[in-house]
Structure 1
Amino acid sequence: MMVWCIVGMALERKEPLHQIVNRLDIMLPGNRPFVVPSAVIQARQRLGSEAVRRVFTKTAQLWHNATPHPHWCGLTLLAIDGVFWRTPDTPENDAAFPRQTHAGNPALHPQVKMVCQMELTSHLLTAAAFGTMKTAKMSLLSNL
């Protein structure tokens, strides 16, 4: 149930969380509606990152395998790229993702480094790895 909420949050980033839950008609076990918006936030926090990682991995594999990608000399066309994501400025994120510094000045927000593998013709992500700004890209690549 909360995984659908995470997907909805990605698709409707400007909508409040309780509206996403209402639109997706997400119910608690026993078909009970959420009583207050804070219940959604607490359920999302309990979900954790492992469930979201598993959903990404499974859907990426299914979509990649189900798509007839063009090949070059019998090879699938893949690329690797990286990006930095700013995270909310919270003590928890500061502890998990130390701020990068430039000329002795810390960044305004904690950042996450992402390295991903993508099929070039469809732009489907086939794998992704995350780390702190201090994590070397080559180290993240070995996790793909």
Structure 2
Amino acid sequence: MEPQFGDRIRLGVLTGEITPEVVDEVLELTGRAERRRRLLPARAVVYFVLALCLFSSSDSTGPPGYRVVRRTLTEKLRHLPGGLVQRLPTSSALTRARQRLGDKPFQALFERRCGAQATPTTPGAFAFGLRLVAWDGTALDVPDTPENAAAFGFTGRDGTNKSGNPQVRLMALIECGTHAIIDAAFDSIARFSEHKLARRLLASLRPGMLLLADRNFAGHELWGLVEATGCHLAWRIKKNLVLPPLWVLPDGSYVSVMPTPAEGQRLGNARFHGRTPARLPHGHLVRIIDYTVTVRSQDESAQVEKFRLATSLLDHRQAPARQLSQLYHQRWGATRSRTRLSELPDRRIDLMSTA
């Protein structure tokens, strides 16, 4: 039998990681394996959708369409030896094939392939004997259909800003050093904050991990939920939080308490009236590291940004403040976030002394 279109697709970067055998197993598991031959077999559609994702950022003006991706996949196959011209499916045929396939195979494929991949020798994957992981959120456009608008909503406080496409909010837990996705969750951008989606990732946190996160996540409740998994934390927190030192450590960091919301209100009232609290607040014991990042540009001008980290690693000998502050900035590379002052190469980190 003459090989069909899908049998000839071989996108090395995909098939090297996700073999046709794995795809066939997933299709069989989800009941999507063909009972008859098609111009677009299910295996080909799986690789086509993966290619759409792979090439989604190849054009700065927007993700490529079906025609562009199809052309990329079959560029060397259009004119086969012996004068045979490969017949390509239309965009409408690809759309129907995607609808026929559904989302279950991709969910099963993700569950099979996700997870930590680093070994102890992987550069940038471990520190202080702990596996480095990071989580962060982003927003993704989805097709502007009534179904997507109803399910996911739009940006804006009330989710009704319809100037663009409907969007989903995506939260990913990523392994530093390999960029492997350990787990992910997504839902309506109008109804789910990053904090809510982060709770769906808690089951993937383990003892022996060190979770890096930005200042949008710091809070008493979420911090406690992560600590309960046995995972350690090193999170950036807002500089305006009042966290008085209980004792100062030799490396300039200090131990404090992240208070409960009720305790935070009580302490704020005490400060407002000039009273000194009579007891230690209830909350999580944390270690605070204050430091600055100085970046020099080509014209020798300097920019300085202040940072504050909170960590569950209380022993300064196990995790020195300078190493922790340098370590935190790996998360920008791990999550591939926007360029920030702190990720520029010509930078200097200075720890701030605590009186």
Per the normalisation by structure 1, the TM-score is: 0.75
Q: Deviations over 1:59-95 (max 9, x none)?
A: 223xx33x32432232110111000112222212111
What corresponds to 1:112 in structure 2? 168
User: What is the DSSP-based 3-state SS (H/G/I as helix, E as strand, rest coil) of the residue aligned with 1:77?
Assistant: strand
Cα distance change on mapping 1:24 and 1:58 into 2, 3 Å: farther
Number of aligned residue pairs: 135
> Residues of 1 paired with 2:108 and 2:76: CA distance?
21
> Residues of 2 paired with 1:45 and 1:24: CA distance?
27
1:44 paired with 2:101, answer: no
1:131 paired with 2:174, answer: no
In our comparison, the structure showing a higher alpha carbon Rg is 2
Letter of the 1:139 partner, please give it. Answer: K
Name structure 1 gaps, 5 residues minimum: 26-32
Residues 87 and 93, structure 1, Cα contact 8 Å, conserved in 2: yes
Residues 97 and 111, structure 1, Cα contact 8 Å, conserved in 2: yes
Name structure 2 gaps, 5 residues minimum: 1-42, 57-63, 78-86, 202-355
Cα distance change on mapping 1:104 and 1:49 into 2, 3 Å: closer
1:82 paired with 2:125, answer: no
Higher mean C-alpha deviation, range 96-105 or range 134-143: 96-105
Residues 153 and 159, structure 2, Cα contact 8 Å, conserved in 1: no
Per the TM alignment, residue 123 of structure 1 is displaced from its structure 2 partner at its CA by 2.0
Higher mean C-alpha deviation, range 83-92 or range 94-103: 94-103
Per the TM alignment, residue 3 of structure 1 is displaced from its structure 2 partner at its CA by 1.5
- The structure, 1 or 2, with the larger RCO (C-alpha pairs under 8 Å, 6+ apart) is 1
Residues 153 and 160, structure 2, Cα contact 8 Å, conserved in 1: no
Higher mean C-alpha deviation, range 134-143 or range 10-19: 10-19
Hey, which of these two has a bigger chunk of helix by percent? 1
Superposition map of 1:64-83 within 5 A: 64-65=116-117, 67-68=118-119, 69=122, 70-83=125-138
What is the identity percentage for the equivalent residue pairs of Structure 1 and Structure 2?
A: 28
> Residues of 2 paired with 1:141 and 1:48: CA distance?
26
User: What is the DSSP-based 3-state SS (H/G/I as helix, E as strand, rest coil) of the residue aligned with 2:102?
Assistant: helix
User: What is the DSSP-based 3-state SS (H/G/I as helix, E as strand, rest coil) of the residue aligned with 1:44?
Assistant: helix
Hey, which of these two has a bigger chunk of strand by percent? 1
Cα distance change on mapping 1:59 and 1:107 into 2, 3 Å: same
> Residues of 2 paired with 1:18 and 1:71: CA distance?
40
Q: Deviations over 1:34-78 (max 9, x none)?
A: 6544222111122222221222232223xx33x324322321101
Cα distance change on mapping 1:6 and 1:97 into 2, 3 Å: same
> Residues of 2 paired with 1:113 and 1:55: CA distance?
21
What corresponds to 1:141 in structure 2? 198
> Residues of 2 paired with 1:9 and 1:132: CA distance?
22
Higher mean C-alpha deviation, range 67-76 or range 42-51: 67-76
Higher mean C-alpha deviation, range 111-120 or range 1-10: 1-10
Per the normalisation by structure 2, the TM-score is: 0.34
Letter of the 1:95 partner, please give it. Answer: A
